[in-house]
Amino acid sequence: MSSFCQPSLYTFTFMWNAIAVSKISRTFARMFERLQTKWKVNGTQLFLVLCVFALGGSATGYLGKIIMNWLSIDRGWLWTLVYIIIITLIWPMAVLLVSIPFGQFSFFTRYLKRMGARMRIVKENTEYRIKYPESSIQHLASGIRHIAIFASGTGSNAQKIIDHFRDHPSISVSLIVCNKPGAGVLAIADAEQIPVLIIEKDIFFRGNAYVDELRRGGIEFIVLAGFLWKIPQKLIDAYRNKIINIHPALLPNYGGKGMYGSRVHEAVINAGEKESGITIHYVDEHYDNGDIIFQAKVNITDNETPESLAEKIHSLEHKNYPKVIEQLILVPNGS
């Protein structure tokens, strides 16, 4: 009996450990992906940055103990307090020094500046960050309504909007705002010679939300086209009823935090819905919650897939979004 159970026990233990390792691996993978997105680095640079953090921390602890031995303070609350103060002061210098041979000095310079701004030790630099192409006209033409497109991805909707207003007599796409330096929409902006504003999370959510930059650029209307960050209160207050978004489903269903792209289409199909569509709405303080401006529908077939539904939705977006934007700007009260 024992000889029969023993292999089974070994098998069960092996499978349990394999599952645990798999879950831990996925957790670490997600964590590293989030860090790459947050710090805007690739995999190799992330590895180097983490090495600097580890070695810089070790050097800080080592130097801190040397200084504490030199001060000859008895262990107790005073020793602990002085040690915390010392390592807090040493750590920035330690990581900067360690970062030099790893080629990450510029990253840690920016990182420490952001930390200082968050702790209000240093003032965040909020100078005008709009990058103008060399051949662009930098003055604002009178009588033109200037709009900004906020996008995080490839920019297919942004391209359709740009095409629609290319020769428009009174509306101009005057700025592309993006939170991802490598996003495809930036290539579109470059090809179309449209100014670009790359935004940072700290300033967007804890600073002025780039309101000053947008106003200096003459922006009167904001269009979200695949922009994945929530709009902060400061920007909403500055552009009340002047910010709109397009959602790939029929709100109020299948909206909210985390509901974007293929996630929406999968949820719609899994729920057995017979139709889906697009919703263009004003942006307020909550995800996908503002007043609905326009909706259009498509039928869902029995063999529909998230990919085929996405194609139908994209067609609706490209057909309707530019027209609705134009109507809202030219006839803001719907009269």
Reply yes or no on whether 247 is catalytic.
yes
- 3-class SS string, the chain: CHHHHHHHHHHHHHHHHHHHHHHHHHHHHHHHHHHHHHHCCCHHHHHHHHHHHHHHHHHHHHHHHHHHHHHCCCCCHHHHHHHHHHHHHHHHHHHHHHHHHHCCHHHHHHHHHHHHHHCCCCCCCCCCCCECCCCCCCCCCCCCEEEEEEECCCCHHHHHHHHHCCCCCCEEEEEEEECCCCCHHHHHHHHHCCCEEECCHHHHHHCCCCHHHHHHCCEEEEEECCCCCCCCHHHHHHCCCCEEEEECCCCCCCCCCCCCCHHHHHHHHHCCCCEEEEEEEECCCCCCCCCEEEEEEEECCCCCCHHHHHHHHHHHHHHHHHHHHHHHHHCCCCC
Catalytic residue among 146, 168, 247, 318: 247
Joined together, the tokens standing for residue 209 give 């939300």
Tell me if 280 sits within 8 A of 293, measured CB to CB.
yes
Catalytic residue numbers read 247
